[in-house]
Amino acid sequence: MEKGRKDRVTVLPMSLADPLRSHLSRVRLQHESDRAAGLGCVQLPNALDRKYPSAGFEWAWQWVFPATRFYDDACSGARRRHHLHESLMQKAFKDAVRLAGVTKPATCHSLRHSFATHLLESGYDLRTIQELLGHSDVNAMAFFFRHVLARPWQLQITYQRAPQRVPVVLSREEVARLLAVVTTLRERAAMEIAYGAGLRLNEVLNLKVTDVDGERMILRVDQGKGRKDRNVMLSPKLLETLRTYWRQARPRVWLFPGQGGKRHLHQTILQRAFKQAKVEARITKPVSFHSLRHTFATHLLESGVNVRTIQALLGHRSLGSTQRYVHVAGDYLRQTRSPLDSLK
Percentages helix, strand, coil for the chain, rounded to the nearest 5?
50, 10, 40
Return the half-sphere exposure (C-beta side, CA atoms, 13 A cut-off) of residue 42: 17
Return the half-sphere exposure (C-beta side, CA atoms, 13 A cut-off) of residue 12: 8
User: Which of 180, 162, 160 minimizes the C-alpha distance to 170?
Assistant: 180
Q: Give the whole-angstrom CA distance, residue 62 versus residue 82.
A: 9
The pair phi, psi for residue 86, each rounded to 5°, is -60, -25
Q: Give the whole-angstrom CA distance, residue 102 versus residue 178.
A: 66
Going across the sheet that includes 218-224, the strands are 212-213, 218-224, 228-233
Residues 148/113, Cβ–Cβ less than 8 Å: yes
Cβ neighbors of 193 (< 8 A, separation 6 or more) are 199, 204, 207, 219, 238
User: Which of 323, 317, 333, 322 minimizes the C-alpha distance to 139?
Assistant: 317
**Residues annotated catalytic, as ranges:** 200, 225, 290, 293, 316, 325
- β-sheet bridge partners, residue 6: 2
